[in-house]
């Protein structure tokens, strides 16, 4: 294992653009690499992606390993796994990070199997044990009731998939210099066991909490599903998205895709309303990086006030109707549109 050096980040690309989670991982990887005093590298696979490699350096990488081949035009487990494993076996990274996206999780598990190494899935925190050079990958366990730190002591590379929105990307620095290393991939389309016949984009309107600028989230403290409708009314009044805690989802008041927390979505909106939410760590981990947090709770000692920017101590059932009325009046004054810039 002494031969393995360096921190790698798999760079996921869609429609010619680097996914946000890859930029976030370059920010996190930069900290890990600096602690270990090793280079940070991006791993970029695709077709006609060489021009993107400079963006990886601008985002914090020292090196970029590029495999540019027509067989890599669309993601397939077989082709991407072979490409990544060729690079890993040749250059021997110490740590390898992937975004916890559908493609990232699929690729990471395939690579871990092929390289006979460990993989921590859905990580939310990363650190380094400098004395032992171990990646400390932490993630929710036992239904989100505890945080487990997982180590890979006997195999390399140490690998983890990391949830989007939990790490912070660095500021783009177009003055950064780095090394671009191009590698060949000897694969033919006719040798592939799967074929991409067509790529169909999902154009349905689905709630995407991860991209929401304003979120109104409610907790079990609202009492019942009928009272929870006030959350929807407030969200409609201010043009926000709706979210909730795990208890709310388990009670059937919201679908699972609107759950916020360690076992749900991680969000970073400009404004986050936490209404009748106590502030358990499972929920706070999923929203604590919001720019501005407004909490409403009748318990003055509720933990949510520890992370809130502004707190209102009171009964949400009395406060919400007044807020909804005020925002509707403001919306009328503004011609039906409220700006949060």
pLDDT tens string 265-286: 889 899 999 999 999 888 998 8
Q: How confident is the model at residue 207 (pLDDT cuts 50, 70, 90)?
A: low
Q: How confident is the model at residue 146 (pLDDT cuts 50, 70, 90)?
A: confident
CA pair distance 66, 45, nearest whole angstrom:
6
Q: Mutual orientation of helices 102-115 and 77-91 as an angle, nearest 10°?
A: 50
By mean pLDDT, which of 143-157, 162-176, 238-252, 307-321 is the weakest?
Answer: 143-157
Torsion of CA 240, 246, 252, 257, to 10 degrees: 50
Residue 95: phi and psi, rounded to 5, are -135, 140
Does 203 fall in a domain? Answer: no
Query: What mean pLDDT is predicted for residues 121-143?
Result: 88
| 102 and 156 both lie in a single domain | yes
Does 26 fall in a domain? Answer: yes
Residues 78-118: pLDDT tens digits? Answer: 999 999 999 999 999 999 999 999 999 999 999 999 999 99
Does 199 fall in a domain? Answer: no
| 125 and 223 both lie in a single domain | no
| DSSP H helix total and E strand total for the chain | 8, 17
| 225 and 154 both lie in a single domain | no
Does 108 fall in a domain? Answer: yes
Q: For position 340, what pLDDT does the model report?
A: 54
CA pair distance 222, 233, nearest whole angstrom:
14
| 14 and 141 both lie in a single domain | yes
Which runs of consecutive H residues, i.e. helices, occur in the chain? 20-36, 53-58, 77-91, 102-115, 225-238, 246-250, 281-284, 316-333
Please determine, for residue 195, whether its predicted confidence score (pLDDT) is greater than 60: yes
| 180 and 241 both lie in a single domain | no
Does 198 fall in a domain? Answer: no
| 32 and 77 both lie in a single domain | yes
Does 338 fall in a domain? Answer: no
Q: How confident is the model at residue 119 (pLDDT cuts 50, 70, 90)?
A: very high
Please determine, for residue 206, whether its predicted confidence score (pLDDT) is greater than 70: no
| 45 and 127 both lie in a single domain | yes
Contact by Cβ (8 Å): 137, 160: yes
Query: What mean pLDDT is predicted for residues 46-73?
Result: 94
| 180 and 256 both lie in a single domain | no
* Strand-strand pairing, 95-99 and 7-11: parallel
Q: For position 202, what pLDDT does the model report?
A: 67
Number of domains in the chain: 2
Domain that holds residue 126: 7-191
């Amino acid at each position: 294992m002494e031969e393995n050096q360096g921190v790698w980040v798999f760079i996921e690309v869609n429609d010619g653009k680097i996914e946000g989670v890859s930029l976030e991982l370059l920010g996190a990887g930069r900290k890990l690499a600096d602690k270990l005093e090793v280079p940070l590298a991006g791993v970029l696979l695709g077709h006609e992606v060489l021009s993107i490699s400079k963006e990886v350096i601008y985002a914090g990488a020292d090196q970029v390993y590029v495999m540019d081949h027509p067989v890599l035009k669309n993601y397939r487990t077989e082709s991407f796994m072979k490409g990544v494993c060729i690079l890993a076996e040749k250059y021997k990274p110490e740590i390898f990070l992937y975004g916890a996206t559908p493609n990232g999780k699929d690729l990471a598990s395939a690579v871990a199997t092929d390289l006979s190494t460990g993989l921590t899935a859905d990580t939310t925190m990363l650190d380094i044990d400098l004395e032992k050079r171990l990646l400390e990958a932490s993630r929710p366990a036992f239904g989100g009731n505890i945080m487990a730190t997982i180590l890979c002591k006997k195999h390399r590379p140490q690998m983890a998939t990391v949830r989007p929105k939990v790490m912070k990307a660095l500021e783009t620095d177009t003055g950064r210099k780095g090394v671009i290393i191009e590698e060949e991939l000897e694969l033919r389309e006719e040798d592939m066991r799967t074929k991409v016949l067509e790529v169909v984009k999902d154009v349905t309107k689905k709630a995407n909490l991860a991209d929401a600028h304003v979120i109104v989230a409610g907790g079990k403290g609202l009492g019942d599903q009928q009272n929870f409708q006030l959350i929807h009314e407030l969200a409609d009044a201010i043009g926000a998205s709706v979210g909730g805690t795990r208890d709310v989802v388990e009670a059937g008041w919201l679908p699972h895709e609107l759950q916020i927390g360690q076992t749900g979505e991680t969000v970073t909106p400009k404004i986050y309303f936490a209404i009748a939410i106590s502030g358990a760590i499972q929920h706070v981990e999923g929203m604590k990086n919001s720019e501005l947090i407004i909490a409403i709770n009748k318990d003055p000692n509720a933990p949510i006030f520890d992370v809130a920017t502004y707190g209102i101590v009171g009964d949400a059932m009395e406060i919400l109707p007044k807020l909804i009325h005020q925002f509707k009046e403001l919306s009328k004054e503004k011609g039906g549109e409220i700006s949060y810039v």
